[in-house]
Amino acid sequence: MKNILSVRTLSTLFLLAFISLSIVSCSRDNDFEADDLPQEELTNIVLHVKNLTTNNVQDYNYSVGSGAAPAIKLEDGKSYEVTAQFMNGSEDVTSEIEMAKDEHFMIFNFPKSDIQLERLDAPNKKGVRVGLKTKWTVVKAAKDSSPKLIMTLIHEPASANENLNGTAWGSVTGGETDAEASFGITN
């Protein structure tokens, strides 16, 4: 009887330890405190689009989870300087991404548009630029109906490449999506 009780007790303790370890290992990076930009905290992604001919700046605010895609007005043959801003309510958290530039990368996908993109921000240790500040040269804003930009912020990619890959500027292996925003494109 004593043996059965101790086997049951050991089995129960083993099961509790296993469950505890399983729950802890499911958290992102195994440490929420170390995550510099928890995805649950992003509320808005704002693009500040400056026409380099007129120097006029227009802001386009994507509200995370709203489903609405603000339409960015672009003219064929024009160039624009675009700065991305990430918000948590009224708090600007873009500087956290800049400080952790070795852990972030942005992909700019322009299906149904012909837009050349150059990253203007400082490179990280691997020589790759995040993409918080870019220059867009618009060849054709609308090659087909419903052109758009799908912008994705990736956290901790194993590798990142800035080059054009299909209709997207940038590609990664590994990592997780910190944020994704959709913007329409009009001209």
Total domains present in the chain:
2
Reported as a pLDDT band with limits 50, 70 and 90, residue 65 is confident
3-state helix, strand and coil shares in percent for the chain, rounded to the nearest 5: 20, 45, 35
Same domain, 11 and 71: no
**Does residue 133 lie in a domain region?**
yes
Full-model pTM: 0.80
Same domain, 56 and 15: no
Quickly tell me which residue has 């469950």 as its tokens.
19
Residue range(s) defining the domain that contains residue 177 = 40-186
Could you report the per-residue pLDDT of 93-110, keeping only the tens digit for each? 999 999 999 999 999 999
Same domain, 71 and 17: no
What's the start-to-end Cα distance of the chain, in Å? 82
